[in-house]
Amino acid sequence: MEFSWFWFTLVVIVASSFLHRGKYKNKFNGGVVLNFSYRFLVPGYYIMRFGLVPNIIVSSPKAAELFLKTYDLVFASRPPHQAAKYLSWDQRNLAYGQYGPYWRNMRKLCTLELLSSLKISSFQPMRREELGLLIESLKRAAQGHVVVDLTVKVSSLAAEMSCRMVFGKKYEDKDIDERGFKCVMQEVVKLVAVPNLGDYFPFLGILDLQGLTSKMKALSKVFDDFFEKVIDDHVRDGNHGQNKDIVDTMMSIMQTGQTEFQFDHRHVKAIMLDMLGGSMDTAASSTEWILSELLKNPSTMKKVQKELEDVVGLERMVEESDLEQLTYLEMVIKETFRLHPVAPLMLPHYATEDCKVDGYDIPKESRIIINTYAIGRDPSAWTDPEKFIPERFLGSDIDVRGQHFQLLPFGSGRRGCPGMQLGLLQVQLIVSQLVHCFDWQLPNDMLPEDLDMTEEFGLVTTRANHLMAIPTFRLQK
């Protein structure tokens, strides 16, 4: 049998959790959870020692509210992390930045300058153009009654939209590395998610037993070279007036020195990776899960299409201005986020001081893992939690913006996703356009109930198998 570092690491970490079991047994109500799959964790909250690091697994809405709202300030940091060190220019980015004045300033800069409503609207023509190109290619597939790999199509669309938003243009795959842009990005997401012995036994970090650090260093060099080239291109081409991409905006900020903190090439590069990492896989995977649920539930698909017919009509394509009227689609999206949160364990939070939560001691330096997958399926919060029922949101005020702790696809509190508005917009737009322009049929006469919904676990949870379907164009023009 082939030796796997992944399983070896998990075994070592679990074994070490046994050794420390006694220490925390009386401190917290859960004892040690031995099942690693986020699917089976029991609602509530548990302490589990991975290596030398205490981990709190939060898997009920009530517990999530305590950690993300009541004591948000104590848990608003990120743990030290090998991947963050090498892949974020020494934690200069937002996603893995430690809580403090630097992170607060950077967060303000991202929210106000890079991800504001104004900035998001400025990319509207680009989104329309990229989606238009996809629709044209699907129309050709529809004419030939060809099976389409929706996983590939949607992830390419998300990647191109992200590149144009961040860099202002599409780079060719070979510009970054012979493996291609998407592949290199996926490697980052994978490396960040792999359990790393160095994170749980810091004294082992230097030995790099799994070879992860050397991979990270190599990848970081690839990104560093590529991002320097992007910066050079922007310096050479000058800024693009009203149509500034994200790099243009950051370069202006850097050149005018308007920040109250140091902001140089390293910061620009770290934020570039955040924006790409934050927007590419999340939007693609959310879209893929929504389409999967619609294909699996044809009556729901019909209702979404009927709503689109009523709001948009069959004479034209969907415009962004139509989206707020698509209330049934909104329920479908919420229901899919509940069952398939794309970041099922979010990003880890970190206790910056000892804290008593609900009467239990949480030691300083604990990692807090919010299990949104378990929360979305918590039977005390949801009736028939395993069933896909968008109508459950009819007349309910539960939304996805972090105020309702039973549904947290974007997190909540200080660390909640700053790209939520953009992410939601992209997902609503792509899904509505695809189901408005086309009827979809599963290949090989597959029945909807036979569609495989197996997940592939990672920082972002994708389908284990690609989603394949045959389109038929349904608009009158």
Cα separation of 279 and 164, whole Å?
12
For residue 56, CA distances in Å to 293, 348, 409 come to: 31, 10, 19
Interface residue with ligand HEM, options 13, 58, 331, 343 (CB under 6 A): 343
8 A C-beta contact, residue 66 and residue 357: yes
- Closer to ligand HEM by Cβ: residue 278 or 390: 278
Nearest to 291 by CA among 282, 279, 300: 300
- Closer to ligand HEM by Cβ: residue 150 or 283: 283
Site stretch for ligand HEM (CB under 6 A), options 34-42, 118-126, 280-288, 353-361: 280-288
Interface residue with ligand HEM, options 150, 342, 369, 375 (CB under 6 A): 342
Interface residue with ligand HEM, options 61, 278, 390, 458 (CB under 6 A): 278
8 A C-beta contact, residue 136 and residue 437: no
Cα separation of 167 and 443, whole Å?
37
Q: Look at the block and give the residue holding tokens 């607060």.
A: 104
Q: Is 437 annotated as a binding residue?
A: no
249 Cβ contact partners less than 8 Å away, ≥ 6 residues apart: 113, 114, 119
User: Using CB under 6 A, which residues numbered 129 to 158 contact ligand HEM?
Assistant: none
8 A C-beta contact, residue 368 and residue 349: yes
Site stretch for ligand HEM (CB under 6 A), options 31-39, 44-52, 273-281, 352-360: 273-281
Interface residue with ligand HEM, options 286, 336, 371, 406 (CB under 6 A): 286
Interface residue with ligand HEM, options 247, 283, 332, 451 (CB under 6 A): 283
8 A C-beta contact, residue 49 and residue 32: yes
CB of 477 to ligand HEM, least distance (A): 30
Under rule CB under 6 A, how many of the chain's residues touch ligand HEM?
Answer: 25
- Give the x/- contact pattern for ligand HEM in 390-419, rule: CB under 6 A: -------------------xxx---xxxxx
Residue 427 sits in the site that holds ligand HEM (CB under 6 A)? yes
395 in the Ramachandran plot: left (φ > 0), alpha (ψ -120 to 50) or beta? Answer: left
Q: Rounded to the nearest 5 degrees, what angle is found at the Cα of 216, between the Cα atoms of 214 and 220?
A: 120
- Closer to ligand HEM by Cβ: residue 67 or 382: 67
Interface residue with ligand HEM, options 423, 429, 442, 471 (CB under 6 A): 423
What tokens appear for 100 in the block? 């403090």
CB of 31 to ligand HEM, least distance (A): 25
- Closer to ligand HEM by Cβ: residue 197 or 362: 362
Residue 275 sits in the site that holds ligand HEM (CB under 6 A)? yes
Interface residue with ligand HEM, options 21, 69, 104, 107 (CB under 6 A): 107
- Closer to ligand HEM by Cβ: residue 381 or 460: 460
Report which residue's Cβ sits closest to ligand HEM: 419
CB of 417 to ligand HEM, least distance (A): 3
What tokens appear for 414 in the block? 């200080």
CB of 148 to ligand HEM, least distance (A): 22
Q: Look at the block and give the residue holding tokens 């109930």.
A: 449
Residue 163 sits in the site that holds ligand HEM (CB under 6 A)? no
CB of 419 to ligand HEM, least distance (A): 2
- Give the x/- contact pattern for ligand HEM in 346-385, rule: CB under 6 A: xx--------------------------------------
- Give the x/- contact pattern for ligand HEM in 61-100, rule: CB under 6 A: ---------------------------------xx-----
- Closer to ligand HEM by Cβ: residue 245 or 274: 274
Sign of the torsion angle spanned by Cα atoms 138, 144, 145, 151: negative
Going by the annotation, the residues of the binding site for heme are 417
Going by the annotation, the residues of the binding site are 417
Binding site for ligand HEM (CB under 6 A): 94-95, 107, 274-275, 278-279, 282-283, 286, 342-343, 346-347, 409-411, 415-419, 422-423, 427
